[in-house]
Amino acid sequence: MKLKNIFRYLMMALLVVHLSACNSDTDAEQKFDVTPTERLNAQKKELNDLLLSSEQGWKAVYFTDDTQLGGFTHLFKFLPGKKVEMASDFDDDTEKYTSDYDVVLGSTVSVLFNTFNRIHLLSDSDNYPTAALRGKGYLGDFQFLYYGQENGDIIFKSNRLVREVRFVKATAQDWVDLEKNLEMEEKVIGEDTRPLFRFLETNDGTTAKKYDFSFSSVTRFSNSEAIDNSGEVISMGIGYTPTGIVVSPAIEVKGQKLTNFLYNDADGSFTATGTAGVSASIKYSNAPLVLTDDYKLLLPGSGNNVYGYIYNLTKFEGANSALFLSLLGNSEQAAGAMLTRVQLWFNNADGTNYIEYRFGDATGATIARRYHYFTLTANATNKTVTFTPGVWKSSTAVGAPAIATPSFLKNLDDQFMNPQGLYFAEISGLGYKAYTFTSTTTPFRMVAYSFQ
Amino acid sequence: MKIVEKYRIIVLLAGVLFFGACAQEESLTDSQLDYTVPEKTALDNWIEANYLDPYNINAQYKWNQNTVDNTRFLFPPMVDKVQPALDVVKQIWLDSYSAVGGSDFVKIIAPREIVLVGGVNSNSNGTRTLGIADSGQRITLFEVDYLNTKNRANVTEFIHTIQHEYVHILNQNKSFDKQTWQKISPGDYTGTWHLENLTVSRNLGFVTNYARNNITEDFAETASIILTSSKAEYAALLASITDPIGKAKLKQKEAIVVQYYKDAFNIDFYALRDAAEINTNKVINN
């Protein structure tokens, strides 16, 4: 082909390209009517308008991580000028404070509490509830990603741990009642006047299942292990409400998800009720969930066994009940000396049993002793032992005379001599062998070191 | 017509078409981005007057997740703690450098942003991070909520952070004599500095335990500890070192620091220390 022709075709091709180039249909197919910037701006406005729309603001029970922590209730009242009033039940201070907020673009449109307020207390690396959370505080976020609305609630997800946080419209009463959450905390922890044993019971309408309930108030978290030895554990974070608790994750019974528990002041129980007889309750009990045969160690023929409270060892165990510690303190105060031992002796060589109350000075050196003799009967059905009181003495020497009941020991001693009896069971995890004497009718429990 | 002549017109026409083709009349509308200036508080105005205008340094106290480590659990400072903290930083750090290095010194070599964080930046090994210098551009100061401007130890620790971080920034602009420094205590650096004993570290020729982390930290610690101590305090520190070899090593490091300030920035290091001391007293006594 001649050069001329090559040039001609080339020019013609170029012309065709030029003339067809300005086809106006050059845009990529539009999935949306407006540009991404416009959509983001619209979403920001939507969120901000929504936040401002609730007259009494919003309430959120924020479970930062419901695998190890409970819920913290926050109330927010958003004001024009990007101000927000906030209150929280994180600690005793449920007052309202004002700070700033903003609606910003994070990984999506989000609300950010950008100056200090109550919600930031959950994100203090230096204030952590457990050793495992050192440097992480309560794993809290204060930027929440907007995920839309549901039945008038605003659905957010926390910025870092991506947990759902639901903002529910608050009422004026919510602001007034917030401090009641902390009163409820005391009920969840368990009052001294209530029985010592607690369990979580689920009921699917026909059968009930019991779990040993335990709760830590620093983490607001509960672990309850099934008592049927199946190893099943119900773990849940707990948030306080003025009327009860809210848990996360929900307890699932027969396909129903139970989250809201109501408190009953008559018996101190918390109950979540579903439909068709389904429920879950946290209840008190005077009887241990699992009865043991440990009481047989105290019976004649088991040897001269001795178990005792020791002032510089067993006193610090959490299993000592508040009632025991207060009666102990009262006795010490009335006697004017420290009780260094409260030691129970069984099956002595002469066939007797007695409780030895040993008093010491500030260094622990013994200054006096009192002995209360008793006889023992066992109840094989309830697995309890009952002490029948005998004489008091100040010495175990043969022929030592009986003395009058020491008034300073009476109230403490009465708990041991309970006519309804005591439970006696081994307690593990203390680093030494120990048992507990627990009343069958009162919240009295003493940890005793095992001398054998 | 020669072939070239013949097609010249066509080429010209093609060119006109090429450049003029896709012209489309579309007038610009307003930006969709929100560029309204947020309403300024008294604090914002103070920052503008004391940091932004004179030094072109921004002080950020409102939270922005992009300027902090998102894996750490930190929070913004209480608003009423911001100005006192920034005031301390300005008086003891900015004013001292300006007085000795000339009014333009910190304007030229300075972080462009100071980020304030309210709480403790606690590490999993039990230590606290007091400050961070990012690429010479940003200094993050922690524990702003806990600063008590009337407590000398507290103010000194806080200012130590910014002095320390600023030494890093100076080093990032002009490096110090690393080779000479490296030879002074080569075997005594350790990653587990936080487990070391201060008396032992001093006797090895380190001003603090943290100085044992690496030579860059050693330099910054040596300089910043001298800057946050009075002449007498530093003399007492030296006097407390019983090992003469350790003492000599620390003095050698001090000499390198002094020389570095002279050579790199023409600053009399001791005059700078004295200025900082005067300004520190001013802060605490006011």
Chosen from B2, B32, B43, B65 to mutate, greatest number of chain A CBs within 10 A: B65
Residues 139-198 on B with a CB inside 8 Å of A are 145
**pTM metric for this prediction:** 0.79
Query: Would you call B126 and A100 a contact, using CB atoms and an 8 Å cutoff?
Result: no
Pair of tokens at residue A346: 């069984």
Q: Is B61 on the interface with A (CB under 8 A)?
A: yes
Cβ contacts (< 8 Å) between A112 and chain B: which residues? 63, 65
Pick B79's closest partner by Cβ from A21, A115, A140. Answer: A115
Top-level class of domain A181-285: alpha beta
3-state secondary structure chain A: CCHHHHHHHHHHHHHHHHHHHCCCCCCCCCCCCCCHHHHHHHHHHHHHHHHHHCCCCEEEEEECCCCCCCEEEEEEEEECCCEEEEEECCCCCCCCEEEECEEEECCCEEEECCCCCHHHHHHCCCCCCCHHHCCCCCCCCCEEEEEEEECCEEEEEECCCCCEEEEEECCHHHHHHCCHHHHHHHHHHCCCCCCCEEEEEEEECCCEEEEEEEEECCCCEEEEEECCCCCCEEEEEEEECCCEEEEEEEEEECCEEEEEEEEECCCCEEEEECCCCEEEEEEEECCCCCCCCHHHHHCCCCCCCEEEEECCCHHHCCCCCHHHHHHHHHHHHHHCCEEEEEEEECCCCCCCEEEEEEEECCCCCEEEEEEEEEEEEEECCCCEEEEEEEEEECCCCCCCCEECCCHHHHHHHHHHCCCCCEEEEEECCCCCCEEEEEECCCCCEEEEEECC
Q: Is B16 on the interface with A (CB under 8 A)?
A: no
Q: Is B248 on the interface with A (CB under 8 A)?
A: no
B42-285 has which CATH code?
A: 3.40.390.70
Comparing alpha-carbon positions, the chain B residue that sits nearest to A161 is B71
Closest among B175, B268, B187 to B220, alpha carbons compared: B175
pLDDT of residue A137: 92
**What is the interface pTM, i.e. ipTM, of the complex?**
0.81
pLDDT of residue B24: 62
Q: Return the minimum-mean-pLDDT range out of A63-72, A400-409, B3-12, B214-223.
A: B3-12
* pLDDT tens digits, A322-353: 899 999 999 999 999 999 999 999 999 999 99
* pLDDT tens digits, A6-55: 888 988 898 888 777 666 665 667 677 888 888 888 999 999 999 999 99
Q: Report chain A's mean pLDDT, rounded to a whole number.
A: 92
* pLDDT tens digits, B54-101: 999 999 999 999 999 889 999 999 999 999 999 999 999 999 999 999
Same fold, A181-285 and A294-450: no
Q: Is B36 on the interface with A (CB under 8 A)?
A: no
CATH architecture of the domain with residue range A294-450: Beta Barrel (2.40)
Residues 64-123 on A with a CB inside 8 Å of B are 81-82, 99-100, 102, 106, 112-116, 120, 123
Return the domain boundaries, chain A.
Answer: 36-178, 181-285, 294-450
Q: What is the DSSP letter of B196?
A: S
Query: Would you call B118 and A81 a contact, using CB atoms and an 8 Å cutoff?
Result: no
Cβ contacts (< 8 Å) between A158 and chain B: which residues? none
Chosen from A125, A130, A136, A160 to mutate, greatest number of chain B CBs within 10 A: A125
Pick B119's closest partner by Cβ from A15, A124, A142. Answer: A124
Q: Mark A180-212 as b/e (b = at least 16 C-beta within 10 Å).
A: ebeebbebbebeeebbbbbbbbbbbeeeebbbb
Mean pLDDT of B230-242: 93
Q: Is B11 on the interface with A (CB under 8 A)?
A: yes
Q: Are B140 and B164 in contact (CB under 8 A)?
A: no
